Amino acid sequence: MIDEKLQNGEIISDNSTPTINYQQQQPGTSSNSFQDGNINHSNQLKTTPSFKSVYDEDIDDIEIPLRCGVGSCTPDWLQKLHTAKWLLLFLGICAFNQSFVINAIFPVDLSTLEKRFHMTSTQTGIISSWYDLAVLVVVFPVCHWGNIGHKGRWIGIGSLIMGFGSFISAMPHFISSPWPIDNLNSSDYGQCTNRIELNEHCESRRRGLLDAWYMNPYFLIFLLGQTFHGFGATPLFSLGTAYLDENVSQKSSPVYLAIHSMLTSIGPIFGLFIGGRLLQVYEDFDRVDLSTVPMKNSRDPRWVGAWWVGFLCCAIASGFISIPIMLFARELPEAKKHRLKDVNQVHANSQMDTNDHLLKEKKNFSQLMKGCLNILRNPTFVAVMAIGNFEAIILNGFSAFMPKILETILSTTPTIGSYLSSVVIFAAAGGVMIGGMVVRQMNLQVGGMLKMILICHLVALVLITCLLVQCPSREFVGITLGYDRQKPKPGVTPSLIAQCNSQCHCTNKWNPVCDKSTGLTYFSACYAGCEYKEEIHSVGTVWRNCHCIADINRPLISTTTPRNISTTSFNLTENPFLDSSPSMSSGFCTKDCGWSLYLFLVLLFFSVVASFAAGIPNQQIMLRVIPFHQRTLGIAVNWTFHRLLGFIPGGILFGFMIDTTCQKWQHSDCGTRQSCLVHDQYRLAWTIMAVAVVCKLMAVLATIIGYVTYRPNDLDRQNIFFN
């Protein structure tokens, strides 16, 4: 039966020992010569007996119909979609959706979630890393059972699980009360007042655990959502890579994987843009009258945008994309032909036991561990894995906190920070494509790809110093400056209380106001000693009679005792008395960044391009230096160490380091520390750059070790010589 189906001498079955034979050799050609980038594999089975088990399974499965569909429902018109290109498209869309929610929606919403649910950057860092912890828990079972099962169905089911995680992540909006838009009630608009409020419930809260960070119910809900995100995404990036690689030729694999990575990379581009636009929509637009919202736009520091809409969109998209992926067969019709032509680049010292049928269901746990140890004895694989670990620390830290970092360093709003972050995503997508095209066009083998990785990381190391290019920092009276407008002495923390506001009995409600004449921002109108609030058409909220900004050049018009006065609304030009009084506007004072912004973005762009250009050669080396039948297991090992030593500590480390640069924390009425209000801009930049530089240096060292320890086998040496 097999001989009838496989003619022209392609496969000849002799008893139970399969061999490979190609069509008759042309006169005058060497038996070891290369034709169209392929070699004669007649000697390959003698030097790499592990291929026997792979082709054995091909022969066993040769009569299984490879058709697209469900059960017996496999119409002919559907088979037009049963190609590698369509598989790439659907896997790419699935990866796009995953990166949309994990690498864009969550990072964009991060500062909003901290404000809305009173969380610190360390907490949000834990939430970010929890995704990778969930991956770590299931990656080995998924790779083990998924490798011997139907990879497409595993990926499709994973997409459904990921959608469920997105739905859970949106739940806090529906189970929480609307954002308290009346933080400043009708009788107290945040101005200086002689009324004292007591919080009698604080003592009972201190005796309990209600204010403990780990008892925050919304924090726990986000952890649960990230758990399902991690469970669902694991099949996509473990089985999906192998599923795509084994269904295309070795020569085409870098381009296919580069396109797949590019689609993964551009997901955050759309996510950052859409997420930024959603943050300009008020969070509770679905359950409050927007005309009653005192904050008019996202520039108001109290504004909370519609963070939850992005999660719902991803939940719906995950359900739809899972359907076509599950319709593909175990492998595509052309997969076997491609494998017969692949060039063996396995590390020369990798042990390949011909009795390890790792693709068989009879494989047990001890054999699985034996395979893992065999992979970890491969020094080149370990070195490449270490490169990925150090890059994962940087990647997860920046992907989770990039909008927040840019928001702080460049003194922007969360929305603008999300838009600027899209520059990074464009650079990442471009870097991935450049890396894939270079590997393909130059036909790089393992040694050449290691050299390429080294060059890329050295370039990125130099350009990462862009973090030191900053915009002028905001100055906050009572936080970074004293009320005398002088920098505090080292070790001395300024106080929000001063003589000008000592009788105001201010609360700790964060409501920044700007003195545009000096460019200084105050914690609130109350701490600026302001008595009146005025709504001016086309201008917004203006605070009047502010005691703390009066000086000898601008005497106070009124020095009356602080009191509660209702808000008024009229045209500024029609009231010269109020126009001449010391006044402030709501929100932060803005700073002109000038050329620093453009220099920062250019350096950051090329740094990211260089870093991501190393991604495809890194991935290709990982797939090439281990035996074919161990690729999925190798991916599982790689993912495990990436999560354990890279992504998980990366998010937590960055969150912790960002918290160490906090200059002013938000506290609850009972004194419990909540989210950070003001970061030390320069200290943050130096801290993040130091972490990135150390990781880059370690990646360079690992690349050098990988290059020195790599030993190509005989066939790879021939391939290098003839090419």
pLDDT recorded at residue 24? 42
Alpha-carbon distance of 145 to 111, in angstroms, equals 39
pLDDT in tens, 454-465: 999 999 999 988
Categorize the per-residue pLDDT at 316 as very low, low, confident or very high, splitting at 50, 70 and 90.
very high
Mean pLDDT of 543-569: 50
Alpha-carbon distance of 99 to 92, in angstroms, equals 10
Average pLDDT, the chain: 74
Of 321, 340, 31, nearest in space to 159 by CA: 321
Alpha-carbon distance of 258 to 617, in angstroms, equals 10
pLDDT recorded at residue 228? 95
DSSP labels, 15-29: TTEEEE-PSPPPTT-
User: How many Cβ atoms sit within 10 Å of the Cβ of residue 178?
Assistant: 14
| 405 DSSP assignment | H
The 8 Å CB, 24+ separation contacts for 480-487 are 480/663, 480/678, 481/520, 483/548, 485/518, 485/520
Categorize the per-residue pLDDT at 671 as very low, low, confident or very high, splitting at 50, 70 and 90.
low
DSSP labels, 520-573: EEES-TTTTT--EEEEETTTEEEEE--GGG-BTTB--S--PPP-----B---GG
Strand partners, 35: 38
pLDDT in tens, 560-586: 334 443 343 333 333 433 444 566 787
Categorize the per-residue pLDDT at 339 as very low, low, confident or very high, splitting at 50, 70 and 90.
low
Alpha-carbon distance of 100 to 267, in angstroms, equals 5
Say if strands 520-522 and 662-667 run parallel, antiparallel, or are unpaired.
unpaired
Residue 61 predicted with pLDDT over 80: no
Residue 245 predicted with pLDDT over 50: yes
pLDDT recorded at residue 21? 42
Segment among 288-297, 403-412, 588-597 with least mean pLDDT: 288-297
pLDDT in tens, 144-201: 788 777 888 899 999 999 999 999 999 999 988 887 654 444 334 455 655 554 444 5
Strand partners, 521: 476, 514
Alpha-carbon distance of 260 to 435, in angstroms, equals 13
Mean pLDDT of 697-720: 76
Residue 217 predicted with pLDDT over 90: no
pLDDT in tens, 480-513: 888 888 887 777 778 888 888 888 778 777 888 8
Residue 720 predicted with pLDDT over 70: no
Alpha-carbon distance of 511 to 490, in angstroms, equals 27
Domains recognised in the chain with CATH numbers? 2-64 (no CATH), 80-182+213-337+351-472+593-722 (1.20.1250.20), 474-590 (no CATH)
Give yes or no for a contact between 88 and 44, defined as CB atoms under 8 angstroms apart: no
Q: What percent of the chain has pLDDT over 70?
A: 73
Segment among 64-68, 229-233, 515-519, 619-623 with least mean pLDDT: 64-68
What residues have CB less than 8 Å from 469, skipping those under 6 apart? 596, 599, 600, 603
Residue 699 predicted with pLDDT over 60: yes
Alpha-carbon distance of 186 to 164, in angstroms, equals 41
Residue 114 predicted with pLDDT over 70: yes
pLDDT recorded at residue 405? 84
Residue 708 predicted with pLDDT over 80: yes
**Structure-model confidence comparison of residues 224 and 443, the more confident one:** 224
Mean pLDDT of 264-291: 83
Categorize the per-residue pLDDT at 25 as very low, low, confident or very high, splitting at 50, 70 and 90.
very low
Mean pLDDT of 74-81: 75
pLDDT recorded at residue 38? 40
pLDDT recorded at residue 32? 40
pLDDT recorded at residue 111? 81
pLDDT recorded at residue 539? 61
Mean pLDDT of 64-83: 72
Of 416, 456, 438, 559, nearest in space to 500 by CA: 559
Segment among 147-151, 620-624, 687-691 with least mean pLDDT: 147-151
Segment among 354-358, 360-364, 456-460 with least mean pLDDT: 354-358
Burial class (CB in 10 A: 0-12, 13-18, 19+), 596: middle
pLDDT recorded at residue 202? 54
Mean pLDDT of 446-472: 88
The 8 Å CB, 24+ separation contacts for 597-603 are 597/410, 597/471, 599/466, 599/469, 600/409, 600/410, 600/466, 600/469, 600/470, 601/420, 601/423, 602/466, 603/463, 603/465, 603/466, 603/469
Of 683, 229, 222, nearest in space to 468 by CA: 683
**Structure-model confidence comparison of residues 401 and 671, the more confident one:** 401
Categorize the per-residue pLDDT at 33 as very low, low, confident or very high, splitting at 50, 70 and 90.
very low
Segment among 78-82, 187-191, 245-249, 690-694 with least mean pLDDT: 187-191
pLDDT recorded at residue 460? 92
Mean pLDDT of 384-409: 86
Angle (CA) 442-444-449 rounded to 5° is: 125
Alpha-carbon distance of 233 to 163, in angstroms, equals 10
Residue type, 548: C
- Residue 259, φ and ψ in degrees, nearest 5: -65, -40
pLDDT recorded at residue 703? 94
Alpha-carbon distance of 135 to 138, in angstroms, equals 6
**Structure-model confidence comparison of residues 31 and 122, the more confident one:** 122
Residue 46 predicted with pLDDT over 50: no
**Structure-model confidence comparison of residues 421 and 605, the more confident one:** 605
pLDDT recorded at residue 190? 56
pLDDT recorded at residue 613? 92
